[in-house]
Homo-oligomer: A and B are copies of this chain.
């Protein structure tokens, strides 16, 4: 903490003397504690790879799923406060559905992500607290394949590959070194799993990771355990 920080960090509607919004920065801390999540693009597609090692064998496996479908062609992983994330994912589903009903076509991924981020931005300017969650959105539309990260401030960035949650720095280092444009799916998986390994600091096991993909001309889908086993085996 810088000296005097505590005088400006109790509300979203207070700038610090150097122009920072501490409450938004604190909300990002909640995001940093989320499960390690890799997003990576490849030729004609984009994958989300999430660590779901469960700490509790009494939890239903389905309840630990970390990737949520938004509409037929788009899904996301979330990091941070799980209730906040669920609310935002539901909001995204509603926005997408309404667009489809009103205009008879799918909403573009970027427009959808902007709607999510506008909702987030509003919570940074009023009397509320910011959403303590980040979304990594993967989807396809007529403009191609997309991988967006949204943060608690309502900012959004389009990535080729990125990581959020625990171990982000280590994973990004791997991605920056190994990522290449237009990799084949299998190669991208190798890079992505290597990045995940760096993040979680152990070798990922097939039954402890979750992978979903958005690919051109296909629907957003979750890979089966056997598919994942194949990928992990290949590594």
Contact = CB atoms under 8 A, between A and B. Distances in A.
Interface of A: 1, 4, 6-23, 26-33, 56-60, 62-63, 80-84, 86-87, 90, 114, 117-118, 120-121, 123-132, 147, 153-162, 172, 175-176, 179
Between A13, A16, A18, the greatest number of chain B beta carbons within 10 A of the residue's beta carbon is seen for: A13
Contacts of A81: 21, 153, 155
Nearest to A16: B26
22 contacts: A11-B13, A14-B23, A15-B26, A15-B27, A15-B130, A16-B26, A17-B22, A19-B27, A21-B81, A58-B176, A58-B179, A59-B158, A62-B158, A63-B158, A81-B153, A82-B155, A83-B153, A83-B154, A86-B121, A86-B155, A87-B121, A123-B125
Nearest to A15: B26
A12 B62 CA distance: 30
Contacts of A4: 6
Which of A12, A126, A129 has the most chain B CB atoms inside 10 A of its CB?
A129
A20 B30 contact: yes
A130 B80 CA distance: 18
A154 B56 CA distance: 19
Nearest to A22: B17
Contacts of A9: 17
Given A58-B160, A63-B158, A81-B153, A18 B26 contact: yes
Contact of A129 (B13, B18, B32, B176): B13
A28 B17 CA distance: 10
A225 to B, nearest CB: 17
A21 B26 CA distance: 10
A86 B111 CA distance: 12
